[in-house]
Structure 1
Amino acid sequence: MKKLSALLLSLSLIFTAIPAYNNNTYAEVSKTITKEIDLTTQYEVTNIFDGDTIAIKIDGEEQRIRLLQIDTPEVNHKDIKKSIPMALKATEFTSNFVKDKKITLEFDKEQKDQYGRWLAYVYVDGKCLNEELVKNGFAKVVKYGENTKKYDDYKKIEKELREKKIGIWKDIKANYPSNNKSQQNTKQQSNTQKTTQANNTKAVTKTDNASNTNTAQSKIKGNKKTKVYHVPSGAYYNKVSDENAVYFDTEEDAKKAGYRASER
């Protein structure tokens, strides 16, 4: 409990200076930045948002860096105390990894995402933060757009941790609850669609049956046993059993088939 309290305190200090994240604002800011990130330049980390998102400054503008190929549990920025413990631990790991250090960046196919964040592999003294987060059980491996340079290598590392249930893999559902909700919603939508389709099928079948019944009832009905035909308004029209019933479009057709008209 003491460890968790200390962790919350240290992280609250990290997050105190973090402004609210507005996707549109950062997308717009990224468009106005003329100076591209230099791969050989070392940068100081100015903010840590969670295990897989940090920030650096270029020409006085804070630029977010989204670590490629990985996804750490999300921190609850509205109430840090309600955050998943592994989200806080992943953030602390990233904080310790870059603390008082300069970082360098490596890109893949795409340099930015739709939110204007830089997509990169982050290095400190030749060590890759992305890879270390996976190795230490703080992140799962994900494909991020068309960036797949290190995907297969990370997947091999992840496989071993998943089998040994290390870190996030001890309880993957608890560490990524939003994924569970998404899957549940997809399942519910699928079930709803199936129910709707089934109801529609029943409705169509019912309509077809009713249509067939209405069509049959508008015809002349003959009794195969008695060779008597009945008009729809006749007293005995509905008394002819389905087994003995035969239908004609007109009275003339019934007469031609050897049937005589009912007296009632």
Structure 2
Amino acid sequence: MRKINVATGIALALAAPVIGAAPALADESRTYEGTVTEIVDGDSIRVSGIAGSVRLIGVHAPHPGGCYWEESKNFAADQLLGRGVTLRTDSVNDQSDHRLFAYVYVDGELYNQKTIRQGYTRERSYGPDYELRSDFREAQRQAKAEDLGRWHDC
């Protein structure tokens, strides 16, 4: 894993759509640090120093107005808003449509898995399998088995 400062990350994020993904980084994850400044919804956030939004790898939240949408967004706000986070990209899911795809860590805990495990969101792959998919699927299986959150109410 390689750590890249925010300015370098922004430059890479802006250059990638024009020049394509940098071959040297294709099989590596990258990390960024920042503070969560906005909760877009239960699976997308804005982080200081990152251009565009950050999409949580492997996570799908209900759409606005859908069952458990408000609870999902409120849980994200409670857990993330104003908090310092570490973002880690995945070697197969990195950037698309001007947003960064990332695993979000708060105090060393993986938020992506936590929100699935507690039933606020569900597991979803966007394109190729991501590194932690089996772990996220197991978290979802447990949430469903325990009838938590959206699995109970929707």
Pick the TM interval, shorter chain: 0.7 to 0.9
| CA drift at 1:72 | 0.9
Q: What is the DSSP-based 3-state SS (H/G/I as helix, E as strand, rest coil) of the residue aligned with 2:127?
A: coil
TM-score (norm 2): 0.74
1:135 aligns with 2:117: yes
Q: Rg larger in 1 or in 2?
A: 1
1:110 aligns with 2:93: yes
Q: 4+ runs of 1 displaced by more than 3 Å? A: 30-33
User: What is the aligned residue count?
Assistant: 131
Check conservation: 1:68, 1:147, Cα contact below 8 A.
no
Aligned equivalent of 2:43, options 27, 52, 74: 52
1:74 aligns with 2:63: yes
Check conservation: 1:57, 1:63, Cα contact below 8 A.
no
Aligned equivalent of 1:65, options 37, 43, 54: 54
Counterpart Cα distance in 2 of 1:74 and 1:124: 24
> For the aligned residues, what is the CA RMSD?
2.5
Counterpart Cα distance in 2 of 1:106 and 1:133: 17
Counterpart Cα distance in 1 of 2:71 and 2:53: 20
Q: Deviations over 1:32-74 (max 9, x none)?
A: 58xxx961x420112211010001232xx64210001110111
Query: Which structure is higher in helix share?
Result: 1
Check conservation: 2:57, 2:112, Cα contact below 8 A.
yes
TM-score (norm 1): 0.45
1:42 aligns with 2:9: no
* Structure 1 unaligned spans of 5+: 1-29, 76-82, 173-264
Q: What is the DSSP-based 3-state SS (H/G/I as helix, E as strand, rest coil) of the residue aligned with 2:139?
A: helix
Residues 47/32 of structure 1: CA separation in 2 closer, same or farther (3 Å cut): farther
Q: Which amino acid aligns with 2:33?
A: Q
Q: Which amino acid aligns with 2:48?
A: K
1:162 aligns with 2:144: yes
Counterpart Cα distance in 1 of 2:57 and 2:119: 16
Residues 48/135 of structure 1: CA separation in 2 closer, same or farther (3 Å cut): same
* Structure 2 unaligned spans of 5+: 1-12, 17-28
Query: Which structure is higher in strand share?
Result: 2
Counterpart Cα distance in 1 of 2:135 and 2:54: 21
| CA drift at 1:171 | 4.7
Q: Which amino acid aligns with 1:65?
A: V
Counterpart Cα distance in 1 of 2:87 and 2:78: 18
The one of the two structures with greater contact order (alpha-carbon pairs below 8 A, sep at least 6) is: 2
Counterpart Cα distance in 1 of 2:48 and 2:15: 14
Residues 92/171 of structure 1: CA separation in 2 closer, same or farther (3 Å cut): closer
| 2:8 matched residue in structure 1 | none
Residues 32/57 of structure 1: CA separation in 2 closer, same or farther (3 Å cut): farther
| CA drift at 1:85 | 5.2
Q: What is the DSSP-based 3-state SS (H/G/I as helix, E as strand, rest coil) of the residue aligned with 1:149?
A: coil
| CA drift at 1:164 | 3.0
| CA drift at 1:31 | 3.3
Q: Which amino acid aligns with 1:84?
A: G
